[in-house]
């Protein structure tokens, strides 16, 4: 890891890192919640029971997950919706203030903010992050995103940067953040995008040298960014192909290790549909996607992503839309509790460190997951029961 201009070895990191963050905990396979700050969370559907961002809902669900031992609570950085009858994600909470509130309401899980780097100056972001790290006693983590949804960035009066330049900007942004978090003396920074004069930041975060950083870059340049500067990266699992997933996990770990001398956690984003039987779960998914999906919203989404027909073959595009509606294009964990637990076992066996989860009917799904799936993955040895102190002990470095 590089702190300012100084390279820090893994041993030094062990000493430097605080031991308060659940992301460093002992569970072999870690779990997080995704999207509990945006309307509908991750399912682009008109069914009843989807998540709506009221503060009572946020508090109830994040506390439920926290008590069950989930390690990560990750919000989505969003500023406007995708249209359609749901205006998917249109109503949303800002993520630093969300993290401060969730941090006050919970006790153990890592609480993330997701920051679109072009929307906030790093001096402000570093200060907010440090404040939340103090509020939470060292449980803050930061998801760094560059922004791809043009209409939301246009609201800021900014032109969206060309893809690779977004990461060049994010690199400087993060360098400034890290210097603020670590420099004991005032510093100057002169880059292409930022000029800092006598940079100063006190107090320092509780987590030393700074809170864990996550990134979900999928492109070549995104992966290098994550491997070089971040502590957690996401891979996208294509189809049901576990061998490809294993190669992908190995590849990204090796990239971080060989090119940058760093160890990183590798996670996946999954959506979860639990039924009494596999057939029930599949039937329910088919209904909430095909019959009740907000197809206008997903059409808008894929067009903005540049995936419209003509770019992707028709069949592939339809498949992508289906999984976007089902759960933001995540890896499907669909079936009976035993099937879902078995699939999580497979994810762990290809070397993944954890998964972010969401459910179409969030509260109902999370409740079933805690009651019916968690015991199975504990029995499988992937996790300790949440009540065991050992489960919260921090032995592994992020
Ligand atoms: C788990 C996960 C969370 C993400 N969160 C956000 C987000 O909150 N806001 C956002 O604009 N993009 C988000 N993204 C998109 C990524 O930041 C990134 O743009 C995308 O994965 C494409 O990678 P690339 O930028 O390397 O092409 C997320 C992606 C994943 C997989």
Residue 25: predicted pLDDT: 94
Q: Whose CA is nearest to atom 31 of ligand 1?
A: 216
Share of the chain above pLDDT 90, in %: 86
Above 90 in pLDDT, residue 8?
A: no
pLDDT digits (tens, 9 = 90+) for 318-332: 999 999 999 999 999
Q: Write the burial class of residue 232 (CB in 10 Å: 0-12 exposed, 13-18 middle, 19+ buried).
A: buried
Closest ligand 1 atom to 330 CA: 31
Q: Whose CA is nearest to atom 6 of ligand 1?
A: 76
Round the average pLDDT of the chain to a whole number and report it.
Answer: 92
Ligand 1 centroid vs 149 CA: distance in angstroms? 10
Q: Give dist(CA 113, CA 125) in Å, integer.
A: 10
Ligand 1 centroid vs 116 CA: distance in angstroms? 10
Looking at per-residue pLDDT, the higher value among 299 and 20 belongs to: 299
Q: Which domains does the chain have, with CATH numbers?
A: 2-392 (3.20.20.30)
pLDDT digits (tens, 9 = 90+) for 266-276: 999 999 999 99
pLDDT digits (tens, 9 = 90+) for 227-246: 999 999 999 998 778 999 99
Residue 397: predicted pLDDT: 36
Q: Give dist(CA 94, CA 113) in Å, integer.
A: 9
**139-162: average pLDDT:** 93
Closest ligand 1 atom to 34 CA: 1
**220-228: average pLDDT:** 96
Ligand 1 centroid vs 77 CA: distance in angstroms? 9
C-beta of residue 83 within 8 angstroms of C-beta of residue 297: yes
Q: Whose CA is nearest to atom 5 of ligand 1?
A: 76
Which pLDDT band holds residue 306 (cuts at 50, 70, 90)?
A: confident
Closest CA to 106 of 214, 202, 33, 15: 33
Pocket of ligand 1 (CB under 6 A): 76-77, 114, 145-149, 216-219, 222, 234, 269, 356
Residue 239: predicted pLDDT: 76
Residues 6+ apart with CB under 8 A from 318: none
Above 90 in pLDDT, residue 389?
A: no
Q: Whose CA is nearest to atom 17 of ligand 1?
A: 145
Closest ligand 1 atom to 147 CA: 11
In three-state form (DSSP H/G/I as H, E/B as E, the rest C), the secondary structure along 209-264 is: CCCCEEECCCCHHHHHHHHHHCCEEEECCCCCCHHHHHHHHHHHHHHHHHHHCCCC
Ligand 1 centroid vs 70 CA: distance in angstroms? 21
Lowest mean pLDDT among 103-107, 280-284, 390-394: 390-394
Which pLDDT band holds residue 158 (cuts at 50, 70, 90)?
A: confident
C-beta of residue 299 within 8 angstroms of C-beta of residue 307: no
Closest CA to 215 of 261, 258, 180, 166: 166
Q: Collapsing DSSP states into helix, strand and coil, what is residue 149? A: coil
Residue 69: predicted pLDDT: 97
Above 50 in pLDDT, residue 188?
A: yes
Residue 308: predicted pLDDT: 67
Q: Whose CA is nearest to atom 28 of ligand 1?
A: 216
Residue 309: predicted pLDDT: 65
Above 80 in pLDDT, residue 199?
A: yes
Closest ligand 1 atom to 223 CA: 26
pLDDT digits (tens, 9 = 90+) for 330-380: 999 999 999 999 999 999 999 999 999 999 999 999 999 999 999 999 999
Ligand 1 centroid vs 222 CA: distance in angstroms? 10
Residue 173: predicted pLDDT: 98
Q: Whose CA is nearest to atom 18 of ligand 1?
A: 217
Ligand 1 centroid vs 242 CA: distance in angstroms? 22
Q: Whose CA is nearest to atom 3 of ligand 1?
A: 216
Ligand 1 centroid vs 312 CA: distance in angstroms? 19
**78-84: average pLDDT:** 98
Q: How much is the pTM?
A: 0.92
Ligand 1 centroid vs 145 CA: distance in angstroms? 6
Best residue for ligand 1 mutational test, from 218, 238, 328 (most atoms within 8 Å of Cβ) = 218
pLDDT digits (tens, 9 = 90+) for 128-149: 999 999 999 999 999 999 999 9
Tokens of residue 271, six digits: 């959506």
Best residue for ligand 1 mutational test, from 216, 248, 327 (most atoms within 8 Å of Cβ) = 216
Which pLDDT band holds residue 17 (cuts at 50, 70, 90)?
A: very low
Residue 387: predicted pLDDT: 61
| 8-state DSSP, 290 | I
């Amino acid at each position: 890891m590089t702190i300012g201009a100084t390279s820090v070895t893994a041993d030094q990191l062990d000493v430097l890192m605080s031991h308060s963050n659940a992301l460093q905990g002992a569970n072999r396979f870690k779990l997080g919640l995704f999207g509990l700050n945006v309307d509908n969370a991750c399912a682009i559907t008109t069914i009843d029971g989807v998540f709506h961002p009221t503060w009572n809902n946020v508090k109830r669900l994040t506390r439920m997950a926290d008590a069950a031992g989930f390690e990560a609570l990750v919000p989505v950085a969003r500023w406007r919706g995708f249209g359609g009858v749901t205006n998917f994600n249109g109503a949303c909470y800002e993520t630093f203030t969300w993290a401060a509130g969730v941090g006050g309401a919970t006790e153990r899980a890592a609480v993330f903010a997701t920051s679109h780097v072009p929307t906030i100056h790093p001096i402000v972001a570093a200060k907010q992050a440090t404040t939340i790290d103090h509020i939470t006693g060292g449980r803050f983590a930061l998801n760094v995103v560059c922004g791809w949804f043009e209409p939301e960035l246009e609201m800021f009066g900014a032109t969206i940067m060309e893809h690779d330049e977004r990461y060049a900007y994010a690199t400087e942004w993060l360098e400034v953040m890290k210097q603020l978090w670590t420099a004991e003396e005032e510093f100057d920074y002169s880059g292409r995008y930022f000029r800092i004069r006598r940079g100063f930041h006190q107090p320092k975060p509780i987590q030393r040298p700074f809170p864990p950083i996550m990134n979900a870059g999928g492109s070549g340049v995104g992966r290098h960014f994550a491997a070089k500067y971040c502590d957690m990266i996401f891979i996208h699992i294509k189809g049901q192909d576990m061998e490809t997933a294993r190669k992908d996990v190995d590849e990204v770990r090796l990239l971080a290790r060989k090119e940058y001398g760093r160890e990183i956690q590798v996670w996946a984003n999954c959506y979860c549909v639990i039924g009494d039987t596999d057939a029930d779960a599949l039937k329910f998914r088919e209904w909430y996607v095909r019959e009740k999906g907000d197809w206008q919203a997903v059409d808008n989404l894929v067009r903005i992503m540049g995936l419209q027909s003509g770019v992707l073959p028709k069949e592939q595009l339809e498949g992508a839309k289906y999984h976007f509606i089902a759960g933001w294009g995540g890896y499907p964990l669909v079936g009976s509790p035993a099937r879902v637990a078995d699939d999580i076992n497979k994810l762990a066996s290809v070397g993944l460190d954890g998964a972010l989860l969401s459910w179409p009917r969030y509260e109902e799904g999370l409740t079933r997951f805690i009651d019916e799936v968690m015991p199975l993955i504990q029995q499988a040895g992937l996790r300790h029961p949440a009540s065991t102190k050992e489960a919260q002990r921090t032995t592994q470095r992020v």
